[in-house]
């Protein structure tokens, strides 16, 4: 078997698809993104405990759509001429808010596609979780972020264990006759689960200490502070920059650049003390580049093709058309399934 792909490549691929989903409310295009992500998730799924989380993400997406629609019906929003039904209206303060009132087909469609957009984003994240182990991604993080990544790894380890122990405690509780109801029942569940989780975290910490974690990690207080400020500033800059870029405002690019600069400086400063090596590090090879590029192509196509087909028309309602360029771009996103098929036959 050849090695699994670098998780970074998978995340870039998913990011590309997510950019498409963020740029459009066209349900056809969103559906296409979901289908492509889902196909790749199933075709390239890995044998990790996380692979099964894809279904959870999809269900979560359905919940998001349902919530969006319910909120729209209750609180209103986009109005249109085609009133389907009218709920009894409650006056609220401030008067701009309302509860109940007319519900229009236009508004309903708008809420649906917005929910679908969020669900598609979730689908992209779920797909990447199925194909790339999140722990491996953390392993590829720069050394300056080592402490953070360890904390996340421990959390990722403890979370499924917590769920498992909750299941076994609930099962064991039946042995005591489920006698306690109400608030007491929560306690009978929480006390053993939390005590167990606490003990497990302690033994995990002891195991990590015994196995040399944090050896030679001495770094002066000032250096640590500087690194933290630089990295934090960089991350904030990155977030603001990406948001501005997706939002289409002009401040995006410079803020993003400053963010990248700060983050890189912080990582370099923090990485100077590394005395840790990495077993079989993930490397960027041709296949990784192909996967990442396919995501980038999808994103580029969506960014380049503006035009009315990208947004769904709600007033008046009209059937959406599938825009050619972004659709082709999204289909390029299927490329990883070919690369992965190669992996299986090898």
Instruction: Give burial (CB, 10 Å; 0-12/13-18/19+) of 191.
Output: exposed
Is residue 59 at the binding interface for other proteins, with CB under 8 A as the rule? Answer: no
State the Cα–Cα distance between residues 299 and 17, nearest whole angstrom: 6
175, 286, 319, 346: which one binds other proteins (CB under 8 A): 175
Choice from 181, 183, 211, 221 touching other proteins (CB under 8 A):
211
For residue 179, state whether it binds other proteins (rule: CB under 8 A). yes
Q: Name the minimum Å distance from CB 202 to other proteins.
A: 9
Letter string b/e over residues 226-255, b meaning 16 or more CB atoms within 10 A of that residue's CB = ebeebbebbeebbebbbebbeeeeeebeeb
Kindly state the tokens that stand for 295: 């995501």
CA-based nearest residue to 244, from 233, 235, 255: 255
The SS3 call for residue 318 is coil
Q: Is residue 316 part of the contact set for other proteins (CB under 8 A)?
A: no
Sequence-ordered list of residues with C-beta below 8 angstroms from that of 106, at least 6 positions apart, any chain: 78, 79, 80, 81, 82, 314, 315, 316, 317
Q: Can residue 176 be called a binding residue for other proteins (CB under 8 A)?
A: yes
Residues 6+ apart with CB under 8 A from 183: none
Q: Does residue 325 touch other proteins according to CB under 8 A? A: no
Beta carbon of residue 271, minimum distance to other proteins (angstroms, whole number): 13
* 24, 101 Cβ separation under 8 angstroms: no
Omega into 336 within 30° of 0, i.e. cis?
no
- Give yes or no for residue 195 binding other proteins (CB under 8 A): yes
Q: Which stretch binds other proteins (CB under 8 A): 13-21, 35-43, 80-88, 202-210?
A: 202-210
CB of residue 255 to other proteins, shortest distance in Å: 36
Told to check if 222 binds other proteins by CB under 8 A, we report no
Nearer to other proteins, 211 or 221 (CB): 211
Is the Cβ of residue 48 or residue 271 nearer to other proteins in the bound state? 48
Q: Is 319 in the site for other proteins (CB under 8 A)?
A: no
71 forms part of the interface with other proteins (CB under 8 A): no
Q: Which of 94, 95, 182, 212 binds other proteins (CB under 8 A)?
A: 212
How far apart (Å, rounded) are the C-alpha atoms in residues 311 and 302?
12
The size of the interface with other proteins (CB under 8 A), counted in residues, is: 49
For other proteins, the binding residues in 14-53 under the rule CB under 8 A are: 47-49
129 exposed, middle or buried (CB, 10 Å; 0-12, 13-18, 19+)?
Answer: buried
Which residues make Cβ contacts (< 8 Å) with residue 217, sequence separation at least 6? 273, 275
Residue 213 interacting with other proteins (CB under 8 A): yes
177, 182, 218, 316: which one binds other proteins (CB under 8 A): 177
Question: Shortest approach of other proteins to residue 277 CB, angstroms?
Answer: 5
Contact call for residue 147 and other proteins (CB under 8 A): no
- Binding flag, residue 88, other proteins (CB under 8 A): no
Query: Which of 28, 45, 152, 204 is the binder for other proteins (CB under 8 A)?
Result: 204
Residues in contact with other proteins by the rule CB under 8 A: 1, 47-49, 133, 135, 153, 157, 165, 168-169, 171-180, 187-188, 191-192, 195-196, 200, 203-216, 275-281
């Amino acid at each position: 078997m050849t090695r699994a792909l670098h998780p970074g490549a998978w995340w870039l691929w998913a990011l590309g698809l997510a950019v498409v989903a963020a740029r459009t409310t066209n349900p056809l295009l969103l559906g296409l993104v979901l289908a492509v992500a889902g196909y790749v998730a199933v075709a390239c799924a890995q044998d990790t405990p996380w692979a099964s989380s894809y279904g959870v993400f999809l269900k979560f997406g359905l919940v998001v759509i349902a919530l969006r629609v319910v909120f729209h019906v209750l609180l209103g929003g986009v109005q249109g001429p085609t009133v389907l039904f009218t709920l009894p209206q409650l006056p609220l303060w401030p008067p701009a808010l309302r509860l109940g009132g007319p519900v229009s087909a236009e508004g309903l469609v708008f809420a649906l596609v917005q929910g679908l957009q969020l669900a598609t984003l979730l689908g992209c994240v779920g797909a990447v979780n199925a194909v790339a182990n999140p722990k491996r991604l953390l392993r590829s993080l720069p050394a300056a972020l080592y402490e953070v990544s360890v904390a996340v790894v421990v959390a990722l380890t403890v979370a499924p264990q917590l769920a498992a122990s909750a299941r076994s405690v609930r099962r064991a509780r039946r042995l005591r006759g489920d006698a306690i109801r109400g608030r007491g029942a929560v306690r009978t569940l929480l006390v053993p689960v939390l005590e167990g989780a606490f003990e497990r975290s302690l033994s995990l910490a002891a195991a990590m200490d015994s196995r040399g974690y944090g050896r030679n990690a001495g770094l002066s207080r000032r250096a640590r502070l500087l690194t933290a400020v630089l990295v934090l500033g960089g991350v904030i800059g990155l977030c603001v920059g990406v948001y501005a870029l997706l939002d289409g405002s002009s401040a995006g690019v410079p803020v993003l650049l400053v963010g990248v600069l700060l983050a890189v400086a912080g990582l370099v400063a923090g990485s100077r003390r590394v005395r840790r090596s990495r077993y079989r590090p993930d490397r960027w090879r041709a296949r990784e580049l192909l996967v990442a590029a396919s995501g980038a192509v999808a994103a580029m196509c969506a960014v380049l093709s503006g035009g009315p087909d990208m947004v769904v028309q709600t007033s008046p309602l009209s059937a959406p058309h599938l825009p050619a360029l972004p659709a082709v771009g999204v289909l390029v996103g299927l490329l990883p399934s070919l690369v992965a098929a190669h992996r299986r036959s090898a």
